[in-house]
Structure 1
Amino acid sequence: MTGSAIDLRAVQRAAPGLVNLYKSAGDSLGRHGLAGGRAAVYLVLDYSGSMRPYYADGSVQALADRVLGLSAHLDGDGRIPVVFFSTEVDAVTEIPLDGHEGRVAKIAASLGHMGKTAYHLAMDAVIDHYLDSGSTLPALVVFQTDGGPIDKRAAEMWLCKAARLPLFWQFVGFGNTRSNQFDFLRRLDELPVPGRRVVDNAGYFHAGPEPRRVCDAELYDRLVGEFPAWLEAARRLGIVRA
């Protein structure tokens, strides 16, 4: 088993503020049998109007930082592709290790009106980026949202079609845990296999109304907890070859 894609010293040089996150992510990967593994890591961020408080209080930046800390173990390019979405895809960009501080706010400041939530357009943007990249690695897509999609049928259809690609979608909910806005994501997580999709290619957990209060260890365990089972099933079916 090889080591992390980017070693600790390189993280210390490029992003000293992420060192503790990097260490916590490494511990979680070890607990889940993923130490030394390789994967492309994507981040999808909800830019709908109801997300405004989470951008203002730093919750979105904090999630991006945590995902960067995880990605440094799995992918050696030192950056994560990021899709901002609302009614449309607002931006497809990236956040690098050596320029992560305040990056989310800078990107958000350049975007337009905060709309609604079109999951399927964001998913399509990730799929296009992955296919265009030519990567043969499996991909872990961290998909953050604070509500259900405007087109549930399209979101479900995209997830089922994407099950034949080496992409695992880990949905993360921000907001009131009792809100029925997340009923759809719970159903999406439980779509039957093989009745609707060839493999279970999605997970879901709720980070609550104060997502920054979720400790690093718990967050990383939830981000990667279902990834190993998907990897095993996807390799068995020939979806993942790396």
Structure 2
Amino acid sequence: MKVTEAERDSFYKVLFSRRDVRREFLPTPIPKEVLDRILLAAHHAPSVGFMQPWDFVVVSSKETKQKIKQGFQQANQQSADMFDGERKEKYQTLKLEGIEEAPIGICLTCDRSRTGDIVLGKTIKPEMDLYSAVCAAQNLWLAARAENIGVGWVSILLDDVLRENLAIPESLDIIGYFCLGYVEAFQDTPDLERHGWQSRREVKNSIHFEKWQK
């Protein structure tokens, strides 16, 4: 199947307009058919050995989101204390989640034992299953953006909070918790760049030819 120029341009539009959303969520429900398409896209991520190690726990309960938010608040204070001076002050001004505002939360897990002990492609780099699950996160994010739905990745959460509230077995690795919802607007610039935390590196500084260059 050949991709047309219009389809190519649409893909790049989605890619470059993807944002980590924290503050612009609307209470508008996500229709089931839309959420199903997003999850199907995530499920079609590439995976080493075709092991498909991911699972998705979909959260819509207000009570559950409140408990997860409490876990974030504890972890966020712990994180803030790791910074000093002006950096700490700046950190404390940032909004870093939309757990209660977003209509849907999704916890992405990785079952590292799926398909057995020896997996094609994991024989030398056993962490490839984790990378495969992260590919599912990227698919989810891009599919959501194509549906005009914002996504925020909440990494400032202790795994125990998610295990306790979502009944996630200890045998599974937790990749992340994602907030999904329609938004007021998608920002032109990433939040952390917009608020002076970190700027984007120029792509030329990330590319090396033939060998690593300083």
* Structure that is richer in helix per residue: 1
Q: Which has the larger radius of gyration?
A: 2
* TM-score of the pair, normalised by structure 2: 0.29
Larger relative CO (CA 8 A, sep 6+): 1 or 2?
2
